[in-house]
Structure 1
Amino acid sequence: MAQTAELIRTPFGATSTAAEVVQDVDLSGKRAIVTGGGSGIGIETARALAGAGADVTLAVRRVEAAEEVAADIRATSGNQAVHVAPLELVDPASIAAFAAAWSGPLHILVNNAGVMAIQELTRSPGGQEMQFATNHLGHFALAQALHPALASAGGARIVSVSSSGHLRSPVVFDDLDYRFRVYDPFGAYGQAKTANVLFAVEATRRWEDDGIVANALMPGGIFTALQRHVGGSDYIAQARERFADAGVHFKTPEQGAATSVLLAASPLLDGVGGRYFDDCNEAVVLTERTDLTISGVAPYALDPANAERLWQVSLDLTT
């Protein structure tokens, strides 16, 4: 679905929290998966969905740590239907096992897990650049494997957590894995995050007749373990200083999860797909960026031809 002239607007904004977004939403009887639900905004995404009554599964690499998170979510939400399951997004066998273990419908799939700006060129066991493999290909394969469960839900939603980092790079189809280009950690991250948006565009086009829609989003500036590859607390201090005069609002994890939860659960988004949101509203399409741009979406990330091409490339790489 291409972006129309009239952007979707909601009553929520940059300071809204995930809990506020679902305050009047009843997700009883709905089943949700949150990848990376054991850390960062994934925790608050899962907590808000559970608080609204959903049956939530945290799909994670570190099961033991996530079990502690799940226990906390059960205690704070009063919802006992919070589960943990192992998932390694660069391991096709792990993805297949996770999907095989799932039975029944799936109403909400939040593709939240990710890695940012790995400093040295690293490739997955399958040979793909690690950020592209983790952030895009793994989630693509997971959604493909769970398609029957999503289709059986009758009105399923996929949430693709992207980033303003997508403004740093389109998908470079001729060299996805940096076999010819000089490796750039943030450029590779940008390519992967653009792929997250393109996935939402094409998934909606292909699967809308199955009752499935997908949207992508920028959570906002949130400081979590995602920054571990770029200096952690030092990077956070530098970012605060760099953006101090740009009017950028840095968010808490509860605020950072709000747009994900809006796309996952709000009736305001019924039937809406193939779009990109930031601060709980549909983003404007940009014509250029600066180093301080964190709002808006690049036209190449919404381009239907790019989305269709990426889908085919992704199929070739995962099947």
Structure 2
Amino acid sequence: MASQTQDPALTRLADPTVADTDRSRRRRQQHYRWRELRPALLFLSPWLVGFTVFTAWPVLYSGYLSLTDYDVLTDAQWIGLDNYERMLEDPKVRLSLWNTVVYTVIQVPAYVAVSLGLALLLNRAKRASGFFRTVFFLPNMTPPVATGVLLLLLFNGQNGLVNTVLGWVGIEGPNWTTDPDWIKPGLVMMSLLSVGGSVIILLAALRNVPQELHDAARVDGAGSWRRTWHVTVPMISGALFFVFIVNTIAALQSFTEAYTAFFGVGNTTYSNDAALFYVIHLFRQAFESLNMGYASAMAWVLFVVIMVITAIQVTVSRRFVFYEGDQR
């Protein structure tokens, strides 16, 4: 009778043959998983090695350097938080940070608005859309250094092309490269030449908006503007958010165009205090003054600022960004 009432599971566990079979099955499963993982790791290994050597290690090492006095020529001397305290007293840090914030506040909304406007126009185009996509994207192929030189040619206060065109309609253009109030707007306008990449991203999002939604809104009496604002924009809000957050990060790290135009070798013609962005000041501290420890501290502060701003943007986006499949 005892044998008839015994739990089959206990009988199975008590049988050494069954236990060996289960262990063998588990070993085979682990072996198969490892065989599938090895090719993936093999293909990923170049990126993993490159990321570790050229990104992760330099970032961690710069954190150590930020706590030292290091000028490249001599050994690093540990000074703790002195570099961060020095930043609080450095007027150039405050000036460069303010310039960067002002530039970002102006540039990012303008960049996103122009990108969206061009994408909407391209979405209406039919046969010519391919040609105009190429035209809008071509300026992205221009090296940033060339863009900085082009800025001086286009926005020269005396004989630049922009002021010449404004003169044709009776408008006296400002001194874009010498007037501190117009330096950042000029840089913003130059940055709008590179909207091509964002235009392509937004155009792809626009092409994926279901036509049925537009038809339904049209039947309900919605005009073109209302359909764009209440149907199109919400449906591409994910792409808009991507463009917004990526361009915010890029604007906070602006360097090449402004440095080429206003801080190039032997440049004594143009006013540059209004163009002293944070990364430019960081670069000059590192490679002109050889204050590598101080520059590393500045880099870590910028990293924290970007992380905080990005976290705020992601948090706020949960209320405004719609993704397909959301149940709200």
Q: Return the TM-score normalized by structure 1.
A: 0.23
Higher strand share: 1
Return the structure number with greater relative CO, CA threshold 8 A, min gap 6: 2
Q: Return the TM-score normalized by structure 2.
A: 0.23
Q: Rg larger in 1 or in 2?
A: 2
